[in-house]
């Protein structure tokens, strides 16, 4: 009992130290933007920033659950592109069909990932790499490698264009609801505790009688569903299915998860910190756009990616210095 209490306390303290850095960096960057740019705190910039990054927050939360089990999902970007095309084709039937259709299409690919990983015991990297290629190919085939236009009279475009109660974009409201639900699942249900336990030690979890297979299926279906919803937002926001989008989104999601303090080896993670990680990386781009607008610098999208990578490295380095060497739960 004493050893277990000591382990929980150490994991709690370690987890907080890992996530403190991302919140401190996020607040510092927001203060920098507010002090340096006149319109940084405008309602338009805040709404546009959150609306665009809602897609990345979604896939990052789904990826967080997968990584907490010690797995990986490389298919999320392609799944989002595929489901954006599916939602665009379903949009003439209204949001009542296009929204669940896109989510179910993503969840179906997630179910396939779960089948490969759990039932066929294929390593997650290989399984999701295969579905990544399959989803991308499927999106290009059914769309003819062209964007699929959405009729502007369809109520489906309201999802990406209009605001809930005239205040926040619908995408932000829906993402907030999803985040709260998944936070409750992770922190206050046996399923969430099983997800964390698998990342700590899958063999020990099985010996404890936990339903490991069900939890692993759950995280891959969840990741696919989140990517599917991100694809729906992509289609409704741009007014078209985008089969060529989503390239590199999986890396952005992994980066957000890591910046949020989740261990790549699994067993430790947080929904709020993952959201903060996604916002932090998005904020870097937002500030670079403001700098371009001021004419003080002129950076192409390629150089922005380089700077984003350097920033990611610095944040992770600072986190490691603040928290010290962090042992994986597998090593405890």
Tokens of 200: 């700590």
The structure tokens listed for 45 are 């910039």
- Distance between CA atoms of residues 260 and 269, nearest Å: 8
| Residue position matching structure tokens 């990986």 | 72
How far is residue 244's CA from residue 238's CA, in Å, rounded to a whole number?
13
- Local confidence pLDDT in tens for the 332 residues of the chain: 444 444 454 555 455 666 777 888 889 989 999 998 888 888 888 888 888 899 999 999 999 999 999 999 999 999 999 999 999 999 998 889 999 999 999 999 999 999 999 999 999 999 999 999 999 999 999 999 899 988 877 788 878 777 777 777 888 899 999 999 999 999 999 999 999 999 888 888 888 888 999 999 999 999 999 999 999 999 998 888 999 988 888 888 988 898 888 887 777 888 999 999 999 888 988 888 887 766 556 666 677 677 767 776 776 676 666 555 444 444 43
Give domain limits for the chain: 49-320
Would you give the end-to-end CA distance of the chain in angstroms?
A: 15
Give me the CATH code for the 49-320 domain, please.
1.10.3470
Phi/psi of residue 168, nearest 5 degrees: -110, 145
């Amino acid at each position: 009992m004493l050893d277990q209490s000591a382990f929980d306390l150490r994991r709690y303290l370690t987890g907080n130290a890992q996530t403190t850095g991302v919140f401190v960096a996020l607040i510092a960057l927001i203060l920098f933007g507010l002090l340096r740019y006149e319109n940084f705190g405008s309602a338009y910039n805040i709404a546009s920033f959150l609306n665009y990054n809602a897609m990345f927050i979604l896939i990052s939360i789904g990826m967080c659950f997968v990584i907490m089990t010690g797995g990986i999902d490389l298919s999320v970007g392609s799944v989002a592109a595929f489901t954006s095309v599916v939602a665009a084709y379903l949009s003439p039937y209204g949001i009542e069909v296009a929204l669940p259709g896109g989510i179910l299409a993503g969840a179906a690919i997630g179910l396939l990932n779960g089948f490969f990983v759990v039932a066929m015991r294929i390593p997650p990297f290989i399984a999701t790499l295969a579905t990544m290629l399959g989803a991308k190919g499927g999106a290009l085939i059914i769309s003819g490698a062209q964007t699929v236009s959405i009729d502007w009279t369809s109520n489906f475009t309201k999802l990406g264009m209009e605001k809930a109660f005239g205040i926040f974009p619908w995408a932000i409201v829906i993402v907030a609801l999803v985040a709260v639900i998944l936070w409750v699942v992770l922190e206050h249900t046996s399923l969430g505790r099983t997800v964390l336990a698998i990342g700590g030690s899958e063999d020990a979890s099985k010996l404890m009688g936990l339903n490991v297979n069900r939890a692993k299926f759950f995280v891959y279906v969840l990741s696919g569903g989140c990517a599917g919803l991100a694809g729906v937002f992509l289609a409704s926001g741009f007014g078209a299915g985008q089969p060529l989008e989503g390239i590199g989104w999986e890396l952005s999601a992994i980066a957000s998860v890591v910046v949020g303090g989740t261990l790549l080896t699994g067993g430790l993670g947080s929904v709020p910190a993952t959201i903060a990680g996604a916002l932090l990386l998005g904020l870097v781009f937002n500030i670079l756009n403001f700098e371009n607008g001021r004419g003080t610098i002129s950076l192409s999208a390629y150089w922005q990616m380089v700077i984003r990578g350097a920033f990611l490295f610095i944040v992770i380095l600072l986190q490691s210095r603040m928290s010290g060497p962090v042992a994986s739960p597998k090593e405890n």
